[in-house]
Amino acid sequence: MTQEKWGQLKIGLLKTVGQNNYTTWIEPLEFEHLQDGVAVFSVPTNFMGNYVSQNFADVILYELNTAGANVQRVTFRVSANSTANPSPRPVPEASKAAARATEPTASPRDALQAAPLDSRFTFDAFVVGKPNELAHAAARRVSEGGPVTFNPLVLYGGVGLGKTHLMHAIAWELRKRKPELNVLYLSAEQFMYRFVQALRERKMMDFKVLFRSVDVLMVDDVQFIAGKDSTQEEFFHTFNALVDQNKQIIISADRAPGEIKELEDRVKSRLQCGLVVDLHPTDYELRLGILQAKVQQYRDAYPGLEISNGVLEFLAQRISTNVRVLEGALTRLFAFASLVGREIDMELTQDCLADVLRASERKITVEEIQRKVSDYYNIRLSDIIGPKRLRSYARPRQVAMYLAKQLTSRSLPEIGRRFGGRDHTTVMHGVKRIEELKVIDGQIAEDVEILRRALEA
């Protein structure tokens, strides 16, 4: 048996198995060698090897023997230079949008490489803080590929909080640690496209076989299938089949499964069976950590451009919880500064990000701050606003002024007006005083922190 001979034989199989099966399953087979009556073929993926072995081994064996080769058995294995289960490689522009736009295809080979993984979404690049530590720990655990302990793992949370990032990170890690596993990552939207396409092309068997043969199934943004009855139904069966086989399932959603409207109860309850963890809105520290990590990356792209901690702190304070917006702001800042050849200071930041800052303006009002602060220090609201200069009122008043400056977009004179018509220099003095005290007085620093958290919650 030679490669050439196999090439001719292969064509003979076209008639036996039909064009579709031929293109999908037979065409990609490569003959490796024949030894001791065993013909070895290389295949691009494990899944394909299993499928061909179960469905076409007989016809291949028959064809080989008819052509005069003395073969008792055929085997299929993933070749070393196969593209299946590739190790992480950069997909520079791979974005979620691009992944979602991937053409649906019914070919199981393509399907296994469905959505490209973003090379930037690794565990190394994921900044961990209080709001996401549980989700991160669960993702890490699943990425070890050990025995399945919770199934499914459901990660949920608001827009841009890192769900997709964590899912890609799991997929990268699994590919590294367990390259033999078939890890299939796709959005719920892609799941639906594939399902519809399979229905249209009457290839439901292929579809079922494909989805039931993965070792780890990851479906992003599952809320997408809510209200889409037949897709939900198929998802439900796929889900059950995989859980029965003890295969890991990882799901993301924009809210808790129980709160996804028009998601069938049986699907909801399946999702709730495993470990459901949420990614909380980012807090100030996490935002600052993420910004600092991103700045490291920008240093290479924009050598010589520096950004002060003050600007980073300002961004972490003022930009909403959505990390995508935060990243976008930083990118714009670096690009803008390098274009106009200016250093990144507060003025440039305000100019360049005026719209972002306006859009993510906090809804926190000065009045709210005054109320929270007076409750916290156990004094009356009128004492914060009123003229009394007693220290027990003056300090909380300064804290409130400081928070008003940090958490609202009010100018100093506007803040002054809301504090019983005080002058803007008084507000400025108060803000400065708290800034100084925060450094030397742990109690004040803690008070400010607790209040800020309470106001941002």
Ligand X SMILES: Nc1ncnc2c1ncn2[C@@H]1O[C@H](COP(=O)(O)OP(=O)(O)OP(=O)(O)O)[C@@H](O)[C@H]1O
The alpha-carbon radius of gyration of the chain (Å, integer) is 29
Residue nearest to ligand X (CB): 162
Establish whether 268 is an annotated binding residue.
no
Cβ-based neighbours of 244, under 8 Å, separated by 6 or more: none
Tell me the C-alpha to C-alpha distance, in Å, between residue 347 and each of 70, 143, 144, 278, 333.
Answer: 80, 44, 46, 37, 11
Cβ proximity to ligand X, 96 vs 410, nearer residue? 96
CB of 115 to ligand X, least distance (A): 13
H/E stretch holding 330? helix 323-340
CB of 293 to ligand X, least distance (A): 6
CB of 408 to ligand X, least distance (A): 26
Distance, in Å, from the CA atom of 216 to the CA atom of 247, rounded to the nearest integer, reads 6
Footprint on this chain of ligand X (rule: CB under 6 A) = 96, 121, 125-127, 132, 157, 159-165, 221, 254, 290, 323-324, 327
Tell me the C-alpha to C-alpha distance, in Å, between residue 111 and each of 48, 84, 194, 207.
Answer: 11, 11, 8, 9
Distance, in Å, from the CA atom of 188 to the CA atom of 253, rounded to the nearest integer, reads 10
Among 183, 180, 163, CA closest to 171: 183
Establish whether 227 is an annotated binding residue.
no
Establish whether 163 is an annotated binding residue.
yes
Cβ proximity to ligand X, 287 vs 405, nearer residue? 287
Cβ proximity to ligand X, 233 vs 327, nearer residue? 327
Judge residue 58's burial from the number of C-beta atoms within 10 Å of its C-beta, 0-12 exposed, 13-18 middle, 19 or more buried.
Answer: exposed
Establish whether 164 is an annotated binding residue.
yes
CB of 288 to ligand X, least distance (A): 12
Cβ proximity to ligand X, 64 vs 323, nearer residue? 323
Cβ proximity to ligand X, 32 vs 133, nearer residue? 133
Q: What SS3 state is found at 380?
A: coil
CB of 165 to ligand X, least distance (A): 3
Q: Cite the annotated binding site for ATP by residue number.
A: 160, 162-164
Q: Cite the annotated binding site by residue number.
A: 160, 162-164
